[in-house]
Amino acid sequence: MYRYQARYPALPPPGAVHYRQRGDRAALPPLASARGERSMPNTIYYGDNLPILAAMPSESVDLIYIDPPFNTGTTQARTQLKTVRSETGDRTGFQGRRYETTTLGTKSFADRFDDYLAFLRPRLIEAYRVLTPTGSLYFHIDYREVHYCKVLLDDIFGRECFLNEIIWAYDYGARTRKKWPAKHDNILLYVKDPGCYTFNVDDIDRIPYMAPGLVGPEKAARGKLPTDTWWHTIVSPNSKEKTGYPTQKPLGILERIIRASSHPGDVVLDFFAGSGTTGVAAAQLGRSFILIDNNAEALRVMGARLADLPATFVERHSPRSMAS
Ligand SMILES: C[S@@+](CC[C@H](N)C(=O)[O-])C[C@H]1O[C@@H](n2cnc3c(N)ncnc32)[C@H](O)[C@@H]1O
């Protein structure tokens, strides 16, 4: 019996995901210690990301994607429901059939910070340090905090290292009638060196022309390069991709980022990993991943999602939410 199982029964059992316990330092996976070492195994850390980042070697990660809590001032939660046919059910469906709804469980994490930028700053400084000289950071946020985060990132990376603000536009959910309904997220792209960074333009998935008749059949069949505005559906509530983890991001968004800004064999880091979307996309594209989260539920979800891959689990520091 592993010690973590008694303390954190929510975590997945040992299987293809290999578990190590806190203090098991001699057996910790070797982190890439210098640019050029490409033996980094897939690793999932359970704990506050700041001390874990601080323990990582400089210039050891090629690409970082992060999707921190957006500081919405709430608890982000998703309740999963299961509906089954039942004559005594509480819902009426197609052709008047009765259904009963049962709650499978709720997954949640706190998203409320007294000083959001003070929380982010030391983590982004570490992110800058661990990036390779040709590395990139994608910072996913929304309209409430993006302006403050842009100023913070300009300060850490330098304004000249800002490449893009990507607008991820979607169309789902209720629409307020009191203002323009907000239906987009913002993804800020920074590189460490604006003179030399990875951008594989030919590997990016192409999208259909809006007016294919205007460009000729060959071009229309090939599609066009996406711009900095990405139309992409959210993770559909009925899709196979859906894990039930709140704020799960679509694999399509992560695949586009990883294809464009890393090479096969590179190391991709997500230190607010949630359901592990970055790890799944990285593995599918032949990159290795480092995922960090301090929520036991996130670890359980990503452990299950990545169970077929060789990966090492490390409980590195006492998990403690930095959200107030
Ligand atoms: C918006 S969610 C990420 C969702 C993820 N992109 C996905 O597709 O599932 C943010 C995550 O950051 C984690 N988190 C918040 N503070 C953290 C900290 N100090 N250290 C590690 N993880 C943290 C939360 O537990 C949550 O899972």
Distance CA 224, CA 216 (A): 12
Residues 225, 228, 230, 235, CA torsion sign: positive
Ligand 1, closest atom to CA 323? 16
pLDDT at 235: 95
Q: What is the pLDDT of residue 137?
A: 98
pLDDT at position 94:
59
pLDDT of residue 83: 66
- Taking the C-alpha atoms of residue 239 and residue 107, their distance in angstroms, rounded to an integer, is 18
| Both tokens assigned to 188 | 């800020």
- Predicted confidence at residue 111, as pLDDT, reads 64
Amino acid 320: pLDDT: 46
Q: Which atom of ligand 1 is nearest to the CA of 119?
A: 19
- Domain architecture of the chain: domains with CATH: 3-73+112-315 (3.40.50.150), 80-109 (no CATH)
Predicted local distance difference test score (pLDDT) of residue 149: 96
Q: Is the CB of 49 under 6 A from ligand 1?
A: yes
Helix, strand and coil content of the chain, in percent to the nearest 5, comes to 25, 25, 45
Classify strands 98-111 and 74-85 as parallel, antiparallel or unpaired: antiparallel
Task: State the 10-residue block means of pLDDT for the chain, 324 residues long.
Answer: 39 44 38 42 93 96 95 70 70 68 68 83 98 98 95 97 98 93 97 98 95 92 96 91 94 98 98 98 96 95 91 69 34
- 69 and 323 Cβ atoms separated by less than 8 Å: yes
- Count H helices and E strands in the chain, helices first: 8, 13
Q: 279 CB less than 6 Å from ligand 1? A: no
